[in-house]
């Protein structure tokens, strides 16, 4: 009898002990935001994931999240720059303290998971101290100076990583690779920005930029699309994947060398399922623009029947190609355009070059022609003279011409400088979070330039309006009561 009671007590203690030591299979994220009048914040990921978290009147917030496919997130603080990167794992109980000052954020972490996230914050500050906030200025230096700076960033971040004793082995292994791809991405930006300078120079006698022998790392040319962990969690690896594949595709397309055989060769070298689906969206968006051509139909059937593209991606391609009148289908695909008569998504407090805030509501009662562009976009810049001419032609009419830059936050000064140097007219605005801005995502914008026409009531007239260089734009304007 006594033995049975002892066994019962031991069993109960074992149950209690095992129950209390078991980690939660979700993340608890809490914190407080000071000096910011925000009613919500967002966790976002470049895959399109977005989770909105309510912020209380006193600036506190708390929510839970089950981490499945990726561990790296951006904490989006609306209308603020320097948005922190978070590393989250199931079982974390992470507290975030954010102090905002203008467009700057000071972030610190405590609780379980704090060390990895404090490391990421320190790494970002390390990088910014050497690189600055303007990638275009950073890439304007000569090759030797640039290489020295990039090596210094890598060295300091590796030293920082090794000083953090309690980081898990998995995180350290991942981060060592991530730092390497940060370096490769800097070289990629340098190479392509130098190429763009010569390609769009007014002096046509300047030869195309070619990097000196040995300047570009071999890994840039031998980049392999085979690491799912890095693709889901390293922004640098993700961007490199898109840069390499999109550039190859665009070069082939210009030369009229894109065919089924070429697409098969691309999918063959990609070992990451998510990247195959992402590139299917990218390629189909370009190849299916002229839907009525036999070539578009051939490509459409290729994507829809491809056995390595998942059902969700095929559905997005199908909705984009065939169209749909249902709201549900619109929400199911970021590629589909809003219909004429739909209430336009809003943008709020986008910055002017003088850092004043303007919103779509400020233009209520007028037609609004929106140009979505970026300083690095060659086709966008080619439209500038035509846009200026259109603005001049309709200057005294009931229409506002609004140009929205989707440059990265660190390029604000570069954008501001270009606005001044090129004497850009109309209303010049800077989106709050580049391509991840809610307004940009709601319109399904994944490539630029993109032009939008909104009526005086704030409804969509054309979600993909003609370009300024297209004679159809004047024909369209002349049908309006402006």
Per-residue pLDDT at 217: 93
pLDDT of residue 355: 86
How many C-alpha atoms does 108 have within 13 Å on its Cβ side?
3
Give, as one character, the DSSP assignment of residue 435.
G
| Strand duo 93-101 + 27-34: pairing | parallel
Give the separation between CA 367 and CA 364, rounded to whole angstroms: 8
The enclosing H or E element of 95 equals strand 93-101
Complete DSSP assignment for 58-127: TSEEEEEE---S--EEEEE-TT-SSPPEEE--TT-EEEEEEEEETTEEEEEEEEETHHHHHHHHHHHHHH
Low-confidence winner among 34-48, 137-151, 446-460 (lowest mean pLDDT) = 34-48
Q: In the 8-state DSSP scheme, what is residue 338?
A: P
Residue 443's SS3 state is coil
Question: Are 268 and 231 spatial neighbours (Cβ–Cβ below 8 Å)?
Answer: no
Predicted local distance difference test score (pLDDT) of residue 104: 63
Q: Cα–Cα–Cα angle for 231, 233, 236, nearest 5°?
A: 65
H or E segment and range at residue 136 = helix 135-138
Least confident of 12-16, 54-58, 321-325, 476-480: 12-16
Q: Which two tokens stand for residue 360?
A: 């779509």
- Among candidate residues 309, 448, 316, 472, the one with its CA nearest the CA of residue 390: 472
pLDDT at residue 317 in the model: 93
Query: For 130-176, what is each residue's pLDDT tens digit?
Result: 988 778 888 889 999 999 999 999 999 999 999 988 888 889 999 99
Report how far residue 23's alpha carbon sits from residue 90's, in angstroms, rounded to the nearest whole number. Answer: 8
pLDDT band at 447 (very low <50, low <70, confident <90, very high): confident
CA distance 228 to 232: 6
Q: Any residues with CB less than 8 A from the CB of 340 and at least 6 apart, and which?
A: 459, 460, 461, 462, 463
Q: What is the pLDDT of residue 19?
A: 44
Average pLDDT value for the chain: 86
Is it the case that residue 103 has pLDDT exceeding 60?
A: no
3-state secondary structure of 427: strand
The 10 Å CB-count burial string (b at 16+, else e) for 348-369 is eebbebeeeebebeebeeebbb
pLDDT higher than 90, residue 325: no
Contacts 24+ apart (CB under 8 A), 139-142: 139/186, 139/189, 139/190, 139/193, 139/194
Cα–Cα distance for residue pair 367/457, rounded to 1 Å: 8
As given in the structure block, the two tokens for residue 393 are 């032609």
Q: What is the 8-class DSSP label of residue 410?
A: G
Q: What pLDDT is stored for residue 172 in this prediction? A: 93
Residue 90: strand, helix, or coil = coil
How many CB atoms are located within 10 Å of the residue 181 CB?
A: 22
> What is the percentage of the chain residues whose pLDDT exceeds 90?
54
Least confident span in 12-26, 295-309, 373-387: 12-26
The DSSP H or E segment spanning 9 is helix 2-21
Q: Distance from CA of residue 346 to its chain's centroid?
A: 19
Confidence of residue 236 (pLDDT cuts 50, 70, 90): very high
pLDDT for residue 384 is more than 90: yes
The 10s digit of each residue's pLDDT in 165-215 is 888 888 999 999 999 999 999 999 999 888 877 655 566 677 788 889 999
**pLDDT at residue number 8:** 47
Rounded to two decimals, the pTM is: 0.66
What mean pLDDT is predicted for residues 294-314? Answer: 93
Q: Tell me if 66 sits within 8 A of 25, measured CB to CB.
A: yes
Structure-block tokens of residue 62: 């708390």
In what order do the strands lie in the sheet containing 93-101? 60-65, 27-34, 93-101, 104-112
Distance CA 225, CA 42 (A): 29
Q: How confident is the model at residue 414 (pLDDT cuts 50, 70, 90)?
A: confident
């Amino acid at each position: 009898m006594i033995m049975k009671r002892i066994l019962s007590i031991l069993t109960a203690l074992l149950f209690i002990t095992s129950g209390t030591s078991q980690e939660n299979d979700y993340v608890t994220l809490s914190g407080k935001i000071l000096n910011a009048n925000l009613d919500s914040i967002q966790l976002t990921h470049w895959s399109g994931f977005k989770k909105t978290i309510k912020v209380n009147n006193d600036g506190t917030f708390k929510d839970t999240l089950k981490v499945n496919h990726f561990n790296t997130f951006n904490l989006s603080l609306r209308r603020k720059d320097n948005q922190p990167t978070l590393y989250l794992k199931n079982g974390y109980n992470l507290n975030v303290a954010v102090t905002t000052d203008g467009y700057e954020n000071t972030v610190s972490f405590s609780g379980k998971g704090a060390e990895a996230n404090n490391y990421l914050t320190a790494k970002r500050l390390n990088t910014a101290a050497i690189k600055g906030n303007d990638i275009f200025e950073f890439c304007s230096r000569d090759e030797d100076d640039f290489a020295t700076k990039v090596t210094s960033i890598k060295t300091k971040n590796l030293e920082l990583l090794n000083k953090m004793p309690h980081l898990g082995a998995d995180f350290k292994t991942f981060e060592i690779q991530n730092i390497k791809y940060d370096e490769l991405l800097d070289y990629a930006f340098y190479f392509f920005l130098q190429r763009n300078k010569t390609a769009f120079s007014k002096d046509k006698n300047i030869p195309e930029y070619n990097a000196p022998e040995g300047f570009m790392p071999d890994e840039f040319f031998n980049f392999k699309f085979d690491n799912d962990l890095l693709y889901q969690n390293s922004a640098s690896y993700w961007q490199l994947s898109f840069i390499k594949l999109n550039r190859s595709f665009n070069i082939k397309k210009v030369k009229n060398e894109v065919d089924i055989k070429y697409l098969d060769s691309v999918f063959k070298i990609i070992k990451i399922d998510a990247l195959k689906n992402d590139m299917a969206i990218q390629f189909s968006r370009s190849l299916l623009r002229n839907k009525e051509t036999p070539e578009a139909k051939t490509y459409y059937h290729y994507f829809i029947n491809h056995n390595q593209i998942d059902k969700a991606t095929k559905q997005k391609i199908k909705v984009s190609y065939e169209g749909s009148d249902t709201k549900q289908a619109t929400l199911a695909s970021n590629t589909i355009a809003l219909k004429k008569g739909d209430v336009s998504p809003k943008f709020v407090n986008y910055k002017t070059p003088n850092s004043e805030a303007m919103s779509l509501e400020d233009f209520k009662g007028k037609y609004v022609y929106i140009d979505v562009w970026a300083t690095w976009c060659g086709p966008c810049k080619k439209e500038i003279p035509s846009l200026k001419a259109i603005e001049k032609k309709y200057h005294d009419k009931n229409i506002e011409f609004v140009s929205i830059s989707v440059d990265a936050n660190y390029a604000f000064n570069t954008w501001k400088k270009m606005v001044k140097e090129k004497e850009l007219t109309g209303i010049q605005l800077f989106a709050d979070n580049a391509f991840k801005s809610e307004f940009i995502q709601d319109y399904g914008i994944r490539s630029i330039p993109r032009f939008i026409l909104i009526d005086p009531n704030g409804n969509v007239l054309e979600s993909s309006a003609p370009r300024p260089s297209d004679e159809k734009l004047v024909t369209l304007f002349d049908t309006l009561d402006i």
